[in-house]
Structure 1
Amino acid sequence: MARASESFPRNWLRRGIATVIGVLLVLLVLSMFFVVVPAGHVGVLLHFGAVRSSLSEGLHLKLPLVQKVVLMDVRIQKSETEASAASKDLQTVKAKIAVNYHAAPEQAARLYAQVGTGYAQTLVAPAVQECVKAVTAQHTAEELITRRQEVSSKIHNVLADKLAPYGIVVDAFNIVDFDFSQKFNEAVEEKLAAEQRALKAKYDLERTKTEAEQKLTQARAEAEALKIQREQVTPELLRLREIEVQKMAVEKWDGHLPSVTGGGVPFVQLPFTGQK
């Protein structure tokens, strides 16, 4: 009786292990017949190694040992790289580039057949370097700074045209930074300083010219006023002014005659007695 009770757990354990192994074998067999393509991916169906078709997201049936599915990421990828180029005026330019791109889902199978899954390093990175060099050589260093948005847009278009035949879409292209040689940076600073000095000199000249014009205008106005005054002086006006001066002198007289006349003969004032 004791032996029977001891063998029961062992039998149950063996049956449990056999069940788990059986389930695993069934899942393994099923996995050989089915494949799941996750979101943001396209499955490239290979039949004896040759590209047969592309599979969308979801569960798909495949033949084990005959067919294989390779997953291609079609989500937007970001690549940041540094590119070195020469400008039209032979200035060395170092640029930091940021590119957003993705593989077109409908062309994923062809992209895999031509390039493979490593298309970012095999195709995108060299294309970015080439396009940056080509467009940079068309502009001077100064234009790369002043027309930066235009240059970025031109590189975007050139890069998009270059990658389109492979089924790669360029979503965005940005020039994060431009870096030039130390001598060029110093030359730019000196040019800006010279422009500032020229603007200041021009302002000072304009200010001096304006002040001179103001003084000339004022002098002309004063001369015109004097001319008008001279034109208004008539004999009648002079006689009137003379009468006004005499009137003012009479009003200020204190009643005493001067003791000395203009001829140098003393004039003696006798006291008034009131008798005749």
Structure 2
Amino acid sequence: MKSQSSSWQIPLFLTLVALLAVIGLSSYVIINPGEAGVLSILGKAKDGVLLEGVHFKPPLVSKVDIYDVTVQKFEVPAQSSTKDLQQLSASFAINFRLDPIQVVTIRRTQGTLQNIVAKIIAPQTQESFKIAAARRTVEEAITKRNELKQDFDEALGERLQKYGIIVLDTSVVDLAFSTEFSKAVEEKQIAEQRAQRAVYVAREAEQEAEATINRAKGQAEAQRLLRETLTSELLQKQAIEKWDGKFPQVLGGNGAVPFLNLDTGKVTAPTIKP
């Protein structure tokens, strides 16, 4: 009789031990640093966020959803029209984190992190980019890219804050334009290069013309100065310096003695009248 009672007592005891172990393990939860938990009892989220540490909860009928409240990063695409109706596409890297105090509201309204990105962050990124792009032309979006990002950051931060999402930083991964605008920019650059080349050629021709005029003026001035310095006295002096002091060996037929012409530097014979 005793053997029969002990045969079912042992399994019952083991079952009770296992049940108590399950109840004990399910009666508390550990929240690690960088996490926040939301307690739900019978599917209903309870008020009060569970921060890091050990927390007790009703066993078997409760569940704790744990959210990562450290920095998250997602890349989100966006498209918009600029002030001059040009199509502009961009890709933003969004660095954000969930506000631990508001994870209960996030649990009730959005659920998982995937839903937060798909239903909140992506649409609000699109709307914020539209606000920033509509304030400037496509050329201003290129030349004033920092201002575009600043407007985008302000709009996105305000929109996500009310959902319990804190935007820490954003970066423009890519900024693309329509094919028509890219072609227009290329043609404009080619035209500007041609215009700059034409200006360079014109300036070079102008400088060459000025150099030619200056050379001509210099030559004319040199000739004028030369004419002013070549006086008759100087010519006579130069002729005397060139004469070797010898008279011609052959005299004229009339027996006259030749003389030196100081004007020309040549030895000539005088003309004797009969």
Question: 1:155: how far off?
Answer: 0.7
1:130 paired with 2:127, answer yes
Matched, 1:199 2:192: no
In structure 1, distance between residues paired with 2:171 and 2:71? 15
Mapped contact 1:46–1:52 kept (Cα < 8 A): no
In the TM superposition, residue 42 of structure 1 has moved relative to its aligned partner by 0.4
For 1:168 and 1:19, the matched residues in 2 are separated by 50
What is the CA-CA distance between 1:232 and the residue it aligns to? 4.9
Q: Structure 1: any 5+ residue segments left out of the alignment?
A: 1-10, 262-276
Displacement of 1:50 after TM fit? 4.1
Residue number in structure 2 paired with 1:96: 91
Q: Distance in 1 between matches of 2:29 and 2:130?
A: 44
Counterpart of 1:84 (choices 79, 86, 92) is: 79
Q: How far does the alpha carbon of each residue in 1:216-241 deviate from its partner, in whole angstroms, 9 at most, with x for none? A: 444444444445555555xxx43132
Contact 1:51–1:113 (CA<8 Å) still a contact in 2? no
1:156 aligns with 2:150: no
Distance 1:22 1:200 in 2: 94
Match of 1:257 in 2: 250
**Which residue number in structure 2 is paired with residue 4 of structure 1?**
none
Q: Could you tell me which residue of structure 1 aligns to residue 271 of structure 2?
A: none
Task: Give the structure 2 partner of residue 270 of structure 1.
Answer: none
How many angstroms apart in 2 are the aligned matches of 1:162 and 1:94?
20
The letter for the 2-side match of 1:97 is F
More helix by share: 1
Aligned residue number for residue 35 of structure 2: 41
Among residues 97, 105, 108, which one is paired with 2:100 in the alignment? 105
CA distance in 1, matches of 2:136, 2:146: 13
Give the alignment's Cα RMSD to 1 decimal. Answer: 3.1
Could you tell me how far apart the structure 1 residues matched to 2:19 and 2:249 are? Answer: 152
2:36–2:68 contact (8 Å) kept in structure 1: yes
How far apart are 1:190 and its partner, in Å?
0.2
1:125 deviates by 0.9
- Relative to structure 1, the CA distance from residue 259 to residue 158 in structure 2 (aligned partners, 3 Å threshold; closer, same or farther) is farther
Cα distance in 1, alignment partners of residues 199 and 176 from structure 2 = 32
Q: Which runs of 5+ in 2 are unaligned?
A: 1-5, 255-274
> How many angstroms does 1:124 deviate by?
0.8
User: 2:45–2:104: 8 Å Cα contact kept in structure 1?
Assistant: no
Q: Distance in 1 between matches of 2:200 and 2:158?
A: 50
Determine helix, strand or coil for the equivalent of 1:251.
coil
Equivalent in the alignment of 1:185 = 182
Percent identity (aligned): 33
Deviation per residue, 1:76-127 (Å, 9 max, x gap): 2222232221121112222222211111223323333443333222211110
CA shift, 1:21, in A, is 5.7
- Deviation of 1:18 after TM superposition, in Å, equals 8.1
Q: What are the superposed Cα offsets for residues 235-260 of structure 1, whole Å, 9 maximum, x if unpaired?
A: xx431321321341x31857423768
For residue 120 of structure 1, the aligned residue among 117, 120, 131 is: 117
Q: Could you tell me how far apart the structure 1 residues matched to 2:252 and 2:20 are?
A: 154
- Does 1:238 find its partner at 2:235? no
Aligned to 1:29: 23
Aligned length in residues = 244
Shift of 1:191: 0.4
Contact preservation (8 Å) 1:42, 1:74:
yes
